[in-house]
Structure 1
Amino acid sequence: MQKISYVIPCYRSQHTVGGVVAEIAATMQTLPQYDYEVILVNDCSPDDTFGTIRSLVAADSHVVGVDLAKNFGQHAALMAGFHKCSGDIVVCLDDDGQTPADEVGKLLAKIDEGYDVVYASYDTKRQAGWRNLGSWVNSKMTEIMLGKPPELVVNSYFAARRFIVDEMLRYEHCYPYVIGLVLRSTKRICNVPVHHRAREEGRSGYTLSKLLNLWMNGFTSFSVKPLRIATYIGTLFAMAGFLYFIYIIIDHFTRAAAPIGWASTTALLLLLGGMILVVLGIMGEYVGRIYMCANAAPQYVEREVIRHEENDA
Structure 2
Amino acid sequence: MNHLEARAGHPGAGHPGAANPEVSVIIPVYNEEEGLAALFARLYPALDALGTSYEVILINDGSRDRSAAMLADQFHVRPDTTRVVLLNGNYGQHMAILAGFAQSRGDIVITLDADLQNPPEEIGKLIEKMRDGYDYVGSIRKQRQDSLWRRKASQMMNRLRERITRIKMTDQGCMLRAYSRRIIDTINVCGEVNTFIPALAYTFAQNPTEIEVAHEERFAGESKYSLYSLIRLNFDLVTGFSVVPLQWLSFIGVILSLGSAALFVLLLVRRFIVGAEVQGVFTLFAITFFLLGVIIFALGLLGEYVGRIYQQVRARPRYLIQAVLEQHDGMPAVPGMNRSGAAQ
TM-score range, shorter chain: over 0.9
Pick the aligned partner of 1:162 from 181, 185, 194. Answer: 181
Aligned to 1:60: 78
Does the CA-based 8 Å contact 2:324-2:334 persist in structure 1?
no
Instruction: Give the alignment of 1:153-302 within 5 angstroms.
Output: 153-154=171-172, 155-255=174-274, 258-302=277-321
1:8 aligned to 2:27?
yes
User: Given that residues 146 and 183 in structure 1 are in contact (C-alpha distance below 8 angstroms), is that contact kept between their aligned partners in structure 2?
Assistant: no
What one-letter code is carried by the residue in structure 2 that aligns with 1:237?
L
Match of 2:341 in 1: none
Q: Distance in 1 between matches of 2:323 and 2:153?
A: 34
What is the deviation of 1:233? 1.5
- 2:326, 2:64 → 1: CA distance? 22
What residue ranges of structure 2 are gaps of 5+ in the alignment? 1-12, 14-20, 337-344
CA displacement at 1:256 relative to structure 2: 5.4
TM-score for both structures, normalised by structure 1: 0.93
Q: Are 1:43 and 2:61 counterparts?
A: yes
1:83 paired to 2:102:
yes
Given the alignment of the two structures, is residue 24 of structure 1 paired with residue 43 of structure 2, yes or no? Answer: yes
- RMSD of equivalent CA atoms: 1.9
CA distance in 1 between partners of 2:47 and 2:26 (Å): 15
Are the aligned partners of 2:326 and 2:333 in contact in 1 as well (CA < 8 Å)?
yes
Deviations 1:205-244 (A, max 9, x none): 0001111111122222222122112111111211221222
1 CA distance for matches of 2:335 and 2:167?
A: 46
- Identity over aligned residues, as a percent? 29
Letter in 2 for 1:227: L
- Shift, 1:259, TM fit: 4.7
Equivalent AA in structure 1 for residue 315 of structure 2: A
Q: For 1:45-68, what per-residue CA distance to the aligned partner results, in whole angstroms no more than 9, with x for missing partners?
A: 121110110001111021111111
Greater alpha carbon shift after TM alignment, 77-86 vs 178-187:
178-187
Report the AA paired with residue 14 of structure 1: E
Measure the CA separation in 2 of the matches of 1:266 and 1:223: 34
Alignment pair present for 1:103 and 2:101: no
User: How many residues are matched?
Assistant: 311
- How far 1:260 moved relative to its partner? 3.1
Mapped pair 1:306 → 2:329? no
Q: 1:42-91, CA deviations, whole angstroms, 9 ceiling, x for partnerless residues?
A: 11112111011000111102111111111111111110000011000000
Q: 1:6 to 1:96 in 2, by over 3 A?
A: same
Change (3 A) 1:255 1:187: farther
Cα distance between partner residues in 2 of 1:133 and 1:299: 32
Q: Decide whether the 8 Å contact of 1:153 with 1:191 is kept in 2.
A: no
Report if the CA contact (8 A) 2:85-2:324 is conserved.
yes
CA distance in 1, matches of 2:150, 2:106: 32
* 1:139-181 deviation digits (Å, cap 9, x = unpaired): 123202321226x333211111111111111221321220231
Q: Quick one: which amino acid aligns to residue 94 of structure 1?
A: D
| In structure 2, distance between residues paired with 1:114 and 1:138 | 30
Structure 1: runs of 5+ lacking an equivalent: none
Q: Deviations over 1:244-269 (max 9, x none)?
A: 22222333344356553210111111
Q: Secondary structure at the match of 1:44?
A: coil
Counterpart amino acid of residue 98 in structure 2: M
SS for the counterpart of 2:54 is strand
Question: How many angstroms apart in 1 are the aligned matches of 2:322 and 2:194?
Answer: 20
